[in-house]
Amino acid sequence: MTRSDQVFQSIAARGGDPIDAPIIIEASVPLELSGEVVRSRICTFADESGREWALRPDLTLPVAQAEIAARQSGDTAERIRHYRGPVFRLPALAGEPVEFEQIGLERFAAPRAVAQDVWLFETLAEACMAAGVSMAEASFGDLSIFPAFVDALGLPGDVAVGLKRAFRQEGGVRAYLSGRSQAGTGISQRLKGLDREEIAAFVDDIYAMTGLQPVGERSADEIVERLHQSAEAAAGESLSDDVDQFLMAVLSIDLPYAEAPAELRRLAGEAGLKDMTAALDEFETRTSALASSTFGALIGQARFATRFGRRFTYYDGFVFEIASDASDLSKQRPIAAGGRYDALLSDLSDGAVNATAIGGVIIPHRIDGATGGVS
């Protein structure tokens, strides 16, 4: 039995129904969820009418679309869907294939509880071990924590929305805060009032006039997104230095997972944020439950970072990755990843379907690379 088969057998043993999702999806689905910044990673083409399509960049999106269709036809029960198949992404790292197998499962309409988060982590960890992974390193995040702090601060509505949007982009919060503090000067002020499309046109004009192109790791789409955040920030009044520093302190948390609950409570307590109690209680309960779970040994070496998981563009809560070891290279190529995305079905269906969702995937060829095997 190949490692790929071992992974799938372990995943399927968790129950539910197998699903064979379409290979082609409308390109607007990942683009609207994640922004144009993901265009450089997806394989797109246009049909004879000009409609844009994409080879599926993962299996979660087409599986979620199938779930929406099932629920619109009257299925309201809790469901587990498991799957395997090829996905297609233009590599961000040298040596990664464009096409590779992904194996995973999604759980819909289960009660939103810490127990489900632990169940998912144990499911993926168990499947990795079944395929011969003897050592691993886990990383955790919670994409609801920073937005919860923003809400608890009682900031003006437009500021809160801007900060939450900026949080999903690398360096976005710093750019947003900088734009607000420098509202009277610089390019942010010059771009104030322009929407994203107008800023993109401005950047295109700069490239056309100068003949320059982005270099390094920053793509044109990322530059546009950063300028858009700065322009939005420049439209409002600056925040106090204390608020700026507090938000950056929350965003900068990166420490052993076991220490995260106490650090988050310390920051909330120092700022007098009583509205954080429920969110932090859940966070601490989950951390303790994971530590005492079947694969609690992984938690002992795990780290938590507030900003971890933002590249999972549709996830909105608990997120994690499992890497073969603690090296930076291995963490850039995790063998498993998953988390909670309770808003995805609603977002994809324009509010027509609303159900909790949690799921994750395993990438078998990375297990082969870590263990020296061949699938």
Please classify residue 224 by burial: count the beta carbons closer than 10 Å to its beta carbon, then call 0-12 exposed, 13-18 middle and 19+ buried: buried
Order across the sheet with 99-108: list the strands.
Answer: 17-18, 79-88, 99-108, 357-362, 336-340, 318-323, 137-142, 303-305, 254-256
Identify the pLDDT of residue 177: 86
Identify the pLDDT of residue 184: 45
Identify the pLDDT of residue 374: 40
**Residue 215 pLDDT grade (very low, low, confident, very high; cuts 50, 70, 90):** very low
**Residue 286 pLDDT grade (very low, low, confident, very high; cuts 50, 70, 90):** very high
Structure tokens at 117: 């988060």
Hey, which residues does 212 pair with through a beta bridge?
none
Identify the pLDDT of residue 217: 43
* pLDDT greater at residue 33 or residue 46: 46
Locate tokens 């955790």: which residue?
140
What's the first-to-final CA gap in the chain, in angstroms? 9
* pLDDT greater at residue 93 or residue 224: 93
What percentage of the chain carries pLDDT values higher than 70? 83
Contact 53, 59 (CB under 8 A): no
What percentage of the chain carries pLDDT values higher than 90? 64
Q: Which residue type, as a one-letter code, is found at position 73?
A: S
**Residue 299 pLDDT grade (very low, low, confident, very high; cuts 50, 70, 90):** confident
Identify the pLDDT of residue 116: 97
Identify the pLDDT of residue 34: 76
Judge whether residue 263 has pLDDT over 50.
Answer: yes
Identify the pLDDT of residue 200: 72
User: Mean per-residue pLDDT for 271-277?
Assistant: 94
Identify the pLDDT of residue 93: 86
Judge whether residue 151 has pLDDT over 60.
Answer: yes
Range of weakest confidence among 48-52, 171-175, 194-198, 227-231: 227-231
Range of weakest confidence among 146-160, 179-193, 227-241, 288-302: 179-193
Report H helices in 271-313.
Answer: 277-291, 296-300
Alpha-carbon gap, residue 233 to 333, rounded angstroms: 34
Candidates 121, 150, 155, 149; CA nearest to 293 is: 121
Judge whether residue 165 has pLDDT over 90.
Answer: no
Range of weakest confidence among 193-202, 265-274, 293-302: 193-202
Range of weakest confidence among 133-147, 279-293, 301-315: 301-315
Range of weakest confidence among 35-44, 91-100, 244-253: 35-44
Structure tokens at 80: 């587990």
Identify the pLDDT of residue 219: 57
Q: How long is the chain?
A: 375
Identify the pLDDT of residue 47: 93
Alpha-carbon gap, residue 319 to 142, rounded angstroms: 6
Alpha-carbon gap, residue 55 to 87, rounded angstroms: 7
User: Mean per-residue pLDDT for 133-140?
Assistant: 90
Judge whether residue 43 has pLDDT over 50.
Answer: yes
User: Mean per-residue pLDDT for 78-89?
Assistant: 97
DSSP strands (E only) in the chain: 17-18, 24-26, 44-46, 52-55, 79-88, 99-108, 137-142, 254-256, 303-305, 318-323, 336-340, 357-362
User: Mean per-residue pLDDT for 46-72?
Assistant: 95
**Residue 227 pLDDT grade (very low, low, confident, very high; cuts 50, 70, 90):** low
Identify the pLDDT of residue 141: 96
Alpha-carbon gap, residue 55 to 122, rounded angstroms: 30
* pLDDT greater at residue 215 or residue 317: 317
Range of weakest confidence among 15-29, 35-49, 143-157: 35-49
Q: What domains, with CATH codes, occur in the chain?
A: 3-143+309-371 (3.30.930.10), 157-238 (no CATH)
Q: What is the pLDDT of residues 180-213, one digit of tens each?
A: 655 444 565 666 666 667 767 766 766 666 656 6
Average pLDDT, the chain: 87
DSSP string, 186-248: HHHHHHTT--HHHHHHHHHHHHHHH-----TT--HHHHHHHHHHHHHHHTSPPPPHHHHHHHH
